[in-house]
Amino acid sequence: MVILLFIFILMVIYFYTIYFKKYNVDVIIGMYHDQVLSPFKALYKHDAINVTLGLPCVRISPDHGVGENIMGKNLADPRSLILSANFFSKIN
């Protein structure tokens, strides 16, 4: 079962990579957070934000995690955090 799940994830990442590079999309929509986030991060690195719809409040977040492995090393890339703040200021 784990092998099938791994193969499925690789197929999804491959499909997203080919499709998004070909059509230059601005928005990726998925039913669940995890369906879209892996290919999303692989394609856009730190040049993207995550917006969650269907909540009573606006939820916007950078496309990266907490980065515990790079804390205190001056390696963090703030672009996604800046994009999140700029997007929020435009819609609010």
Mean pLDDT computed over 30-41: 72
Mean pLDDT computed over 27-47: 72
Say how far apart CA 11 and CA 56 lie, in whole Å: 34
Of the two residues 29 and 52, the one the predictor is more confident about is 52
Q: What is the pLDDT of residues 3-16, one digit of tens each?
A: 777 777 777 777 76
Q: What is the pLDDT of residues 54-91, one digit of tens each?
A: 889 888 888 777 778 888 898 888 888 898 899 899 98
Task: Provide the whole-model pTM.
Answer: 0.62
Please, what's the b/e burial string for 12-41 (b: 16 or more CB within 10 A of its CB; e: otherwise)?
ebeebeeebeeeeeeebeeeeeeebeebbb
